[in-house]
Structure 1
């Protein structure tokens, strides 16, 4: 059986390895000389921290050995035991330099929020991007993401409101935006001004004890949000070219469908306080809206009638907001 498998061409072996975890694919390099370098041409890599303190070393060395000219998709999740002195920015730079299309980064380590190099926000090939947890979104320059269709921002920290504005304005074809906020993200106003946006899912909760409200599914399993984006990047298993129309609003799964509605734990916010957190939506093409939050005000600057909306709670909705809800499904 081993001889028969070894006789298969490299492209078929790569398709086989593509359907096993990256860690197992790398382990095939010790099977024989025939297998030693097959994995190095995989078009996608996924590194999920299993609690080992050596996960950073493993990722670093794997990326150095990886030789494929194109890296279609890179997923990295590191946990609290991961050393905090790793150069995650170097991993991002490696992926961008090889035309990455899907980049999914989740940092659960004990380091301060980490910023990424400028190349991440000026990547011409990036189609889907997920940034999660201990990440600082610092866009202090003119960003450019001409191919980005799907953006996921989960419990990140923003350098300032201008960084958010620059990030969103750099994405002229963005269709899907998922946002999960917490109270320490450095923002008061969260402005979504994207003319091409079709789907917006926005989750934000705040409790009196300063802790984030528990959202169902908040453990953020790999199949939570990232799978929505992986489908956009790897519809052809990462081996074929990707067309922009692979992202369809109807294919976007809802994320974190329910929020614990414990209103006793929500801070009362006075209407005349200028520091009140607010969500501003200026997206005339928006057709799918989901809002789960207990502490923001929502201001509609520009939004046509929706096809579908799911609202957990909206404080003092304006007439313009209510008129936008002339929809088929609510």
Structure 2
């Protein structure tokens, strides 16, 4: 401590900002009388209830309440909550509003994880200044709650979701105009049943730049509107029917189906080089999707199509003949079929 105690307050605050949580920052007040008020000016508040599991959630709540009450930094750069205990989720909106009182600039991150249960309260849960949210193994009151909950976050920029078994959501709907980054994942231990193809995601995020979807369970994903700003998309999915994959659908259609987009995605024109298609069955929707990609894939180099194990040798031969007539925009495109 002797080496850093002579440092100016501004530099000490910078050092304190690198500590993992606000609990660690507050603990510095016992090291020096001069340091006692410094923690109140640190522009970063990070709360994690995992270190309070042995003493009860009440102790964590009291710590957050008191530290927010005494905190005096004129600028709050980061406010982060990691709540793993069921009883804590309802407190987060109150804490964020308390922090907003003196924060001239605030970038918030909220993490809800480890089987937290969100409750459908009488008044809507709202995070009006929230920009980043992670929902990991969270249980919800239902589909409609998810739609309301996310739509109330009007400044949303980044959302990560990992669905868990029994989360009470059939269709996870993300309608957030401001959203720039979205990652959706169905947990690999999610229960699989005959109704899985009626479950999935609905996305309406016109400002989206980054999209990630991991779904090895099945179901569907509906893109309700075009996303012209997409820079990068990573989709890992094992769907029974190609019409379930990232399709553009009209609101009156009961299930997704392929409708060719009005504009060609930028990534298809400028960057896509490799396409591997597993379990190809030669359905009409599959042909339409495949020919659209080949017809517009300006940079395609390798396209590999692997037939479904249920296809016999005669059907495979017909597929090979059909594939040979597919138009290819890229002269360097090499097409193989197995």
TM-score (norm 1): 0.59
Q: Of the candidates 104, 107, 111, which is equivalent to residue 130 of structure 1?
A: 111
1:139 Cα offset (Å): 5.9
Deviations 1:72-97 (A, max 9, x none): 53444466xx8x8x766556524421
Deviations 1:2-60 (A, max 9, x none): 3x744444333222222234444333322232222322332323344347623743663
Q: Give the direction of change, closer, same or farther, for the CA distance of 1:100–1:309 in structure 2 (3 Å limit).
A: farther
Q: Of the candidates 153, 158, 161, which is equivalent to residue 176 of structure 1?
A: 158
- Please, which runs of 5 or more residues in structure 1 have no aligned partner? 103-123, 207-211, 214-264
Q: Of the candidates 125, 128, 134, which is equivalent to residue 152 of structure 1?
A: 134
Distance across 2 between alignment mates of 1:296 and 1:100: 44
> SS at the partner of 2:224?
strand
> SS at the partner of 1:304?
coil
- Please, which runs of 5 or more residues in structure 2 have no aligned partner? 249-257, 276-338
Q: Give the direction of change, closer, same or farther, for the CA distance of 1:163–1:268 in structure 2 (3 Å limit).
A: closer
1:141 Cα offset (Å): 4.0
Relative to its length, the structure with more helix (as a share) is 2
> SS at the partner of 1:157?
coil
1:323 Cα offset (Å): 4.4
1:146 Cα offset (Å): 4.4
Q: Give the direction of change, closer, same or farther, for the CA distance of 1:73–1:195 in structure 2 (3 Å limit).
A: closer
Deviations 1:94-137 (A, max 9, x none): 442121899xxxxxxxxxxxxxxxxxxxxx96644332231315
Distance across 2 between alignment mates of 1:315 and 1:19: 47
Q: Give the direction of change, closer, same or farther, for the CA distance of 1:145–1:101 in structure 2 (3 Å limit).
A: farther
Q: Which has the higher contact order (CA 8 A, sep 6+)?
A: 1
Distance across 1 between alignment mates of 2:64 and 2:222: 47
Count residues in correspondence: 244
Matched, 1:73 2:87: no
Q: Give the direction of change, closer, same or farther, for the CA distance of 1:30–1:46 in structure 2 (3 Å limit).
A: same
Q: Give the direction of change, closer, same or farther, for the CA distance of 1:282–1:141 in structure 2 (3 Å limit).
A: same
Distance across 1 between alignment mates of 2:102 and 2:168: 29
Q: Of the candidates 208, 213, 218, which is equivalent to residue 286 of structure 1?
A: 208
Aligned partner of 1:312 in structure 2 is 236
Deviations 1:219-248 (A, max 9, x none): xxxxxxxxxxxxxxxxxxxxxxxxxxxxxx
Aligned partner of 1:11 in structure 2 is 10
1:316 Cα offset (Å): 2.2
Q: Of the candidates 274, 277, 288, which is equivalent to residue 199 of structure 2?
A: 277
The answer to whether the 8 Å contact 1:148/1:171 transfers is yes
The answer to whether the 8 Å contact 1:193/1:283 transfers is yes
> SS at the partner of 1:285?
coil
Alignment map for 1:212-231 (pairs within 5 Å): 212=189
> SS at the partner of 1:158?
coil
1:156 Cα offset (Å): 1.0
Distance across 2 between alignment mates of 1:322 and 1:288: 22
